[in-house]
Structure 1
Amino acid sequence: MKRRMINSLLGVVLVMVVVFCVPIALIEKQSIVNAADARVDAQAVRVLGLVESRLAAQEPITGEKFTAQLPEGGYVTIAVPGQPVLAIGTPPGPPVLSATESGADGETVTVVQSRGGVDHEIANMLLLLGVVALLAVQAAVALAVWQAKRLARPLVDLAETAERLGSGDPRPRDRRYGVPELDRVAEVLDASAERIARMLSAERRLSADASHQLRTPLTALSMRLEEINTLASEPDTVKEESTIALQQVERLTDVVQRLLTNQRDPRSPTAVVFELDEVVKQQLAEWSPTMRGTGRTLRVEGLREVRVLGTPGMVAQVLATLIENSLMHGAGTVIVRARPSGRSVVVEVQDEGPGVPTELGNRVFERAVSGRNSTGIGLAVARDLAEADGARLELLSLQPPVFALFLTRADEEN
């Protein structure tokens, strides 16, 4: 933006310089030429007056009498009827200025003067205009740089405010900059921050209420199944089925609790600092046997001993979804790679399969969108879980397929 503002103001100044300096230069040039022509005409009239006065006094017309009337480098010819033409001075080379005057008795005086002095005066005038134009451009550049910095600093500040709002920090800053338009944007951002804070508070209350209302019937169901499992003594199938049901209820309770208690603010009590390596190793241990069973390999690359801020369960669940997705739809070696990216840590999951079809590239995270006859829910739920925990899940490459989970570095929060 700074460069655009400088270029815009500089362009305006250059246009003004051209619009004003070019006509002024043309006018001044013509004025200098006209003044020089007038001087030559005046000299011709003066010499003619001397010629007429000497003719009236019947005195001879000689060159000595007129030399003092000539300018430096000038040349005069005097033609009197019945007398030879008298030439005084040295004829100058072109270009020249000349003037001719005739008297009542037929005498003619021609004054010729070199144009070099006029051209030198024109050159000095153009040089002066050029210096003025250059000073104007330098002043415009200095003003543009100052103005650009003055306007860019508030915009950078507003961008940081907007970024904080997007990351879930809804605290208003109440900063004003003395520019009505920028102050209006700051007011809107502060008002948005207050609305977001109210919405987050309402969301947390709703999550707590929903968690309580769901946990109660699930707990009752779990107690009932435990009672059935304890009292049932006849068929073994009843015990087996009830045990399976209990496991499912426990799994359901854990999932519901995780989904309802995850907050969008990574600074909420559910977000903790944990070792990313532990979660990655856990996924490596869980999925390596399955990979070997299908003749494929799971490999881990990248950072070591990296601490991130978030929920370990969320990261594990998202990575499991991505690895399972590579197992179902990909081919070859599956690589889990961690690398730094600014203030974040990026965990990439890549395989050697055919990749994501081009027509699904922008819709791969939408629900019920799948290119391989699957439900199309896994990636959508994984993205929702990541966003609910303050992280971000993106598709970086279609071929080869590269999914990336962006996490916040713990040292960036300290």
Structure 2
Amino acid sequence: MKRRMINSLLGVVLVVVVVFCVPLALVEKRTIVNAARDRVDATAVRVLDLVEGRIGAKEPVNSRSFESQVTGGSYVEVQLPGLDVVSAGERPAGDHLLKAVERGSSSGVIVTVEQSREDVDHEIANMLLLLGVVALLAVQAAVALAVWQAKRLARPLTDLAEIAERLGSGDPRPRDRRYGVPELDRVAEVLDTSAERIARMLTAERRLAADASHQLRTPLTALSMRLEEITALAEDPETVREEATIALQQVERLTDVVQRLLTTQRDPRSPTAVAFDLDDVIKQQVEEWGPTLRERGRVLSLEGLRGITAVGTPGTVAQVLATLIENSLMHGAGTITVRVRPSGTSAVVEVQDQGPGVPADLGNRVFERAVSGRNSTGIGLAVARDLAEADGGRLELLSLRPPVFALFLGRSHED
């Protein structure tokens, strides 16, 4: 591309130089020759006037009479009627001459002036040399301009190619670089927009993978515990049947989590909120986490109102509560209290434990991704808050010590 641009611009300049310099050289050459001829003619006229003036004054005519009109390289010859020829200067050799002849109309005097064209040819050569130098400088300037312009246009194309290559290799960082060329700036803008779009898509995919791995862990853990209970109590058919029923419920819950993840990925604003009995969801969590808490010598206590009809997605609310209970189990201590209370038009579900609480330097940052007070993934509470907000609720940290997390849900008008 660079070579093509340089050749194109150089060709244009050469054409312009030829079209401009050749006619100019011809015109200047003719002007120089005509000026030299005019000087020779003027010399002949002046000599004729001097000679006729001396004849009219009855003075003798010799070479000294007009030698002042003879310039370097010229020869003047005066032919008087009935007399010898009078001349001044050195007669130039050769045929390459400028010559002028003047005749007196009344005196019969003939004046002949001859001048060598050497000076004229030298002047023409200087003029052609000057034009050649100007043309050469113009060509050099054109080459320099072509190289600069080629680099100026090729560098943005190289950058754009690198950006496109980075997009293809999975590095969708926009460059936000512009080049002052509208067409190239438009391409750069489109690539930056595509990079931002790809970055959002990759972020969404990675976030979906992280959320899925975290949200699936809780029901899988519960399912694993139920299967262990079934294995341990295999001799009691009634207990096996009960545990198997609960395990099937865990499978259904696991399926619901996967379905919600896919639905949220396709359309985050998909409305699924319904009126449901909050006691059923809390009871489900007690049944799921009871065995694990008993194994660790912990207790799950229920307090507050009963019979609350909340508005939301039961599966989402269950997932948020499971995250809060698991968080208390992993990072807290003592009794875990689940408390239900009213707050205006909302129903609030609080989860509290007797552990050391949330460090003061974290505060509400516990809901940020990758922020954790201990060795954990740091995405559980962030996912729980996102789920609550997507379901029309709100998840807040009400107290650092003791740690109290509150899930705010809408209440049904029938309640």
Q: TM-score, normalised by structure 2?
A: 0.46
TM-score (norm 1): 0.46
